[in-house]
Amino acid sequence: MRDVIRGRAIRMAGVLAVVLLLGTSGCNRTNQPLTPKDQSLVIKLRWIKSYPSQARSQVNTGLFWALSFLGAKLPADAAIISWDGTTVTLDLDAAGVMEISKPAWKKLLDVLKSSDEYRMMGGVDIGRFVFLSLCSSYQYYALTGVSPNYAEFRARHAFAPRQVAIVESAVAHGNRLIEVGQGEGINSVAFVAFEGAGSLQAHSFEKADIETLDIMENGQLRFGLYDLEGHLKATTTPALTAAGKPSKCLWCHEINLQPPFRNVTDLEGFYSTKQFKELVASSTQVIARYRKTLASKVDFARLQDHSNAEELYLSFAEPTAIRLAAEWNMPLERVTQLLASRNLKTHPHSERIDDGILGDDLYDRNEVDSLAPYATIRGPSDMREASSYEPNLLQ
* Confidence at residue 15, expressed as pLDDT on a 0 to 100 scale: 32
Residue 23 has pLDDT above 90, yes or no: no
Q: Which of 22-36, 82-96, 126-140 has the least mean pLDDT?
A: 22-36
pTM of the model: 0.89
pLDDT mean across residues, the chain:
90
Q: What is the 3-state secondary structure (H, E, C) of the chain?
A: CCCCCCCCCCCCCCHHHHHHHHHHCCCCCCCCCCCCCCHHHEEEEECCCCCCCCCHHHHHHHHHHHHHHCCCCCECCCCCEEEECCEEEEECCCCCCCHHHHHHHHHHHHHHHCCHHHHHHCCEEHHHHHHCCCCCHHHHHHHHCCCCEHHHHHHHCCECCCCEEECCCCCECCCEEEEEECCCCHHHCEEEEEEEECCCCCCCCEEEEEEEEEECCCCCEEEEEECCCCEECCCCCCCCECCCCHHHHHHHHCCCCCCCCCCCCCCCCCECHHHHHHHHHHHHHHHHHHHCCCCECCCCCCCCCCHHHHHHHHHHHCCCHHHHHHHHCCCHHHHHHHHHHCCCCCECCCCCCCCCCCCCCECCHHHHHHHCCCCCCCCCCCCCCCCCCCCCCCC
- Residue 128's pLDDT band (cuts 50, 70, 90): very high
* Confidence at residue 167, expressed as pLDDT on a 0 to 100 scale: 95
Residue percentage of the chain with pLDDT more than 90: 83
- Residue 34's pLDDT band (cuts 50, 70, 90): confident
Give tens-digit pLDDT for 340-358. 999 999 998 777 545 557 7
* Confidence at residue 20, expressed as pLDDT on a 0 to 100 scale: 31
